[in-house]
A and B are shown apart, each in its own frame.
Chain A
């Protein structure tokens, strides 16, 4: 293990590794990524693999559109020999209340103004795309063809491999235990395998980003929540888009290998860093899934698990640094959509850390917005 670095990135998930790659690609040397488990062992490897551009704030639309455009070309950009299993089968969003119908109209108008070609579909139009679904109780749909899926492991490893080729060191099974600060400046990172002298740290620790913040006396308004998910055996391809509802609270997508992946979020989730799975979830999920998409009734569930959403008070990520502490950077609080933001997170954080002007202005996403009361509420999250 090296004992000094230009920057230590804490977290070997999509955020940490995409940033490591982008820093290296822009010429930074001596980059170290420290990961407590294996690569993508945190939220990234436990996520729903969904990619969407249908958001309700301009910021999220811009971030997700830019990220999706990177994903479209990621294998070439990173010279990855395997496939990231990118699929653009669309996202079909269910509007089940008057309020949601109106919200979706607003969202689509906003998305269209930003170059995202989403549209409102009638029941009949949606049934042409997914003939076997149950539309009882649905009022209309929103659809965007370019939304879809990417394999979180392949995508993260694509970044990890490219970063390594550019000289980035990745230390897995290595845990950060503390961070030394002197005169408001980062001095070193203490791990269970030794100390690394550095003046820069990126906190990309997902559900543990709050703990990392506390190591330098910074209290980040993050709330880790346990979310469950399950996957079925592979069957022939029958479902193109991701089916998703905010009001009914579910998402279901068939992956390119034929498996169905699905989940929902419990209401009023308590703060938790636990990742065990429950029978209750599997039962409730199966009920929802069969009601909405009856062909699933005969399909077998092979695995269920849980992972962490890291919520912020406005469901938007925190990007940036904190005033009064030199060299401490944050990319955390993705509130359940950090995988799809990963590629653009990497670009923006690298630009920010190198003191360049980020291609999408991110100053409004700093940690200070909560104290200033400048929250940016995203209306469309599961």
Chain B
């Protein structure tokens, strides 16, 4: 991935991929997120959500306020199945 700018580290999404979608006419954050999986990985967009919003805003000429910012979905933190099931909560 030399010379590429990574926007979402969990899902390995580059700036170019996002710009390509915007060039295709996509200007909605929710749609771009779901088509690329940007911010849908294990960190749930903690770092890239804002970055994605900035990229979309600057490239489409919309203000951040005009964008529909996706909501966070639970759980707030990744959790192992065993812990959820009530088994032993190991390292976390």
Choose one: A41, A233, A303, A304; the contact of B30 (CB below 8 Å): A41
B1-9, B48-56, B57-65, B80-88: which lies at the interface? B80-88
Q: By the criterion CB–CB under 8 Å, are A304 and B81 in contact?
A: no
Q: How far is the CB of B57 from chain A (nearest CB, A)?
A: 16
Interface residues on B, range: 20 to 34
Q: How far is the CA of A235 from the CA of B73 in the complex (A)?
A: 20
- Chain A 168-188, CB-CB to B under 8 Å as 1, else 0, gives 000011000000000000000
Q: By the criterion CB–CB under 8 Å, are A45 and B34 in contact?
A: yes
Q: How far is the CB of A356 from chain B (nearest CB, A)?
A: 31
Q: How far is the CA of A229 from the CA of B3 in the complex (A)?
A: 38
Most chain B Cβ neighbours within 10 Å, of A164, A173, A296, A302: A302
Secondary structure class of chain B's binding surface, majority of residues: loop
Chain B residue contacts of A157, Cβ below 8 A: 31, 35
Q: By the criterion CB–CB under 8 Å, are A38 and B31 in contact?
A: yes
Chain A residue contacts of B28, Cβ below 8 A: 38, 172
Choose one: A82, A233, A283, A302; the contact of B35 (CB below 8 Å): A82
CB of A39 closer than 8 Å to a CB of B: yes
Nearest chain-B residue to A153 (Cβ)? B34
CB of A28 closer than 8 Å to a CB of B: no
Q: By the criterion CB–CB under 8 Å, are B85 and A287 in contact?
A: yes
Q: How far is the CB of A74 from chain B (nearest CB, A)?
A: 16
Q: By the criterion CB–CB under 8 Å, are B75 and A297 in contact?
A: no
Q: By the criterion CB–CB under 8 Å, are B80 and A303 in contact?
A: no
Q: How far is the CB of B13 from chain A (nearest CB, A)?
A: 12
Q: How far is the CB of A229 from chain B (nearest CB, A)?
A: 11
Chain B residue contacts of A303, Cβ below 8 A: 40, 44, 73-75
Choose one: A172, A257, A286; the contact of B85 (CB below 8 Å): A286
Q: By the criterion CB–CB under 8 Å, are B82 and A233 in contact?
A: no
Choose one: B34, B78, B82; the contact of A302 (CB below 8 Å): B78
Q: By the criterion CB–CB under 8 Å, are B81 and A289 in contact?
A: yes
Nearest chain-B residue to A300 (Cβ)? B78
CB of A191 closer than 8 Å to a CB of B: no
Nearest chain-A residue to B26 (Cβ)? A157
Q: By the criterion CB–CB under 8 Å, are A283 and B41 in contact?
A: no
Chain A residue contacts of B84, Cβ below 8 A: 282-283, 285-286, 301
Nearest chain-B residue to A284 (Cβ)? B85
Nearest chain-B residue to A37 (Cβ)? B30
Interface residues of B in 5-41 (CB under 8 A from A): 24-25, 28, 30-31, 34-35, 37, 40-41
Q: How far is the CB of A48 from chain B (nearest CB, A)?
A: 16
Choose one: A164, A257, A301; the contact of B81 (CB below 8 Å): A301
Q: How far is the CB of B29 from chain A (nearest CB, A)?
A: 9
Q: By the criterion CB–CB under 8 Å, are A301 and B79 in contact?
A: yes
Interface residues of A in 289-333 (CB under 8 A from B): 289-290, 296-305
Q: List 9 A-B contacts (CB under 8 A).
A: A41-B30, A277-B73, A283-B85, A286-B84, A298-B80, A301-B84, A302-B75, A302-B78, A303-B74
The 7 closest A-B pairs by CB, nearest first: A286-B84, A286-B85, A300-B78, A153-B34, A38-B30, A287-B85, A297-B82
Extra pairs beyond A233-B42, A300-B79 (4, CB < 8 Å): A283-B84, A285-B84, A301-B78, A303-B44
